[in-house]
Amino acid sequence: MAYLFTSESVSEGHPDKIADQISDALIDNFLAFDPDSKVACETLVTTGQVILAGEVKSKTYLDVQQIARDVIKRIGYTKSEYMFEANSCGVLSAIHEQSQDINQGVDRQTKEEQGAGDQGMMFGYATNETEEYMPLALSLSHKLLKELAVLRRENKEINYLRPDAKSQVTLEYDNNNKPVRIDAIVISTQHDDFDAEPAMLAKIEKDIKEILVPRIVKDNPQYAHLFNDDITYHINPTGKFVIGGPHGDAGLTGRKIIVDTYGGKGAHGGGAFSGKDPSKVDRSAAYATRHIAKNLVAAGVADEILVQVSYAIGVAKPMGIYINTYGTAKVNLTDGEIAKKVEGIFDMRPYFIEQRLKLRNPIYSETAAYGHMGRTPEVVTKTFTSPNGEEKTVEVELFTWEKLDYVEKVKEAFSL
């Protein structure tokens, strides 16, 4: 029986995403000057105010206020009428040193024995539904908001956009679990107060349908057949959306974990990513399980795969690895037998995850908006400046967990 499935995304200017981006900018700066830094940093944003809290163990000192302001400026909160502006907002830091009781479970005499930074279970997921092995509804939701941000920065075809926005895409699937059309699209975008409310809403809806959506179709011809004249659009369905960002809603680090991962497909262990260094398996093991799932699907083990790993705090070896292929396996093995083979291919001890995916580099700011998964690996050069004027330029590889570098090993192990 055909069914509907929905995923959502939020823009880089959404309050929760502002918080994520500030927390991850702090992670990057700590790791740039001290790769062994242990950091768990939470951010709260509200009207005219940023509050930083958390625990740090590092040899470096940062100007956390300036880092926060730089992030806010880059996102686009640069006007006083937004009631949250990069240069004028207050920034309060309540960051303190990491508990030694926690640290003793992570740092060991040999790096290979490094314990997990916390207990818990983490999930990775992949499907051959899209080229990036991600659920299509989430992929389209992200694409809509990325392009909306491009239009905002161009400030030409649409010149009234403000940074805060949300999207949602509902797909219809057939009996074979294949997407056949887009049923509904929801876009809520913050905007200037440029006319009477009915005129503003009509203009925004027209621009979304006639400018934004055609750009998405043009850039993604493989999905053009899913767009149709019967799509139900809800554009700013509550009415005008002038008051937004942290002035409209408070934002907190780690409150968009489904947007960050798979849009409701697969599963989630509950732990957020942003603001955590890679000793926290909430982050590193979630990336590692995505890496496993993506390489297994790309190798042809199954059309769709969920991978779970679990840890005890301070213990290096995982409690276990679980695999669910949802009945799509293309190998003559049970899911349990597939899991046993996976254990022999991928070392899931925290230190080896960090090494395999190069996670002790400043690579996290780029993850903090538009999803941590399904992104394109690339090598970039980044420059960081310390409060005493020291500059650090590093070449880093982003989104290493998206690389298909284990496909041949998987094929060999599964005789594919």
3-state secondary structure 173-230: ECCCCCEEEEEEEEEEEEECCCCCHHHHHHHHHHHHHHHHHHHHHHHCHHHHHHCCCC
Residue 42 appears among annotated catalytic residues: yes
Residue 276 appears among annotated catalytic residues: yes
**Residue 293, annotated ligand binder?**
no
**Residue 354, annotated ligand binder?**
no
| Cα 303 from Cα 182, distance rounded (Å) | 22
Cβ neighbours for 187, distance < 8 A, ≥ 6 positions apart? 144, 148, 165, 166, 167, 208, 212, 233, 234, 235, 236
Residue 196 appears among annotated catalytic residues: no
Residue 184 appears among annotated catalytic residues: no
Residue 411 appears among annotated catalytic residues: no
Contact 253, 19 (CB under 8 A): yes
**Which residue do the tokens 């001290």 mark?**
34
**Residue 255, annotated ligand binder?**
yes
Catalytic residue (choose from 152, 255, 268, 349): 255
C-alpha angle with apex 194: 370 to 8, nearest 5 degrees?
A: 20
| Cα 29 from Cα 382, distance rounded (Å) | 10
Catalytic residue (choose from 241, 273, 346, 399): 241
Catalytic residue (choose from 146, 162, 191, 280): 280
Task: State the angle between helix axes of 407-414 and 281-299 in degrees (0 to 180), rounded to the nearest 10.
Answer: 60
Output the six-digit token pair for 158: 């649409």
Catalytic residue (choose from 34, 36, 53, 55): 55
**Residue 14, annotated ligand binder?**
yes
Residue 392 appears among annotated catalytic residues: no
**Residue 119, annotated ligand binder?**
no
**Residue 280, annotated ligand binder?**
yes
**Residue 382, annotated ligand binder?**
no
**Residue 277, annotated ligand binder?**
no
How remote is the C-alpha of 77 from its chain's centroid?
Answer: 21
Catalytic residue (choose from 42, 85, 118, 260): 42
**Residue 164, annotated ligand binder?**
yes
| Cα 150 from Cα 287, distance rounded (Å) | 27
Residue from 414, 399, 396 nearest 31 by CA: 396
N-to-C CA span, the chain: 32
Residue 16 appears among annotated catalytic residues: yes
Catalytic residue (choose from 38, 69, 143, 276): 276
**Residue 166, annotated ligand binder?**
yes
Residue 241 appears among annotated catalytic residues: yes
**Residue 194, annotated ligand binder?**
no
**Residue 272, annotated ligand binder?**
yes
Catalytic residue (choose from 5, 8, 12, 17): 17
Catalytic residue (choose from 282, 304, 366, 402): 282
Catalytic residue (choose from 16, 24, 28, 207): 16
Catalytic residue (choose from 5, 8, 14, 286): 14
**Residue 291, annotated ligand binder?**
no
What residues form the annotated binding site for Mg(2+)? 16
What residues form the annotated binding site for K(+)? 42
What residues form the annotated binding site for L-methionine? 55, 98, 249, 280
What residues form the annotated binding site? 14, 16, 42, 55, 98, 164-166, 240-241, 249, 255-256, 272, 276, 280
Task: Give me the active site residues, please.
Answer: 14, 16-17, 42, 55, 166, 241, 249-250, 255-256, 276, 280, 282
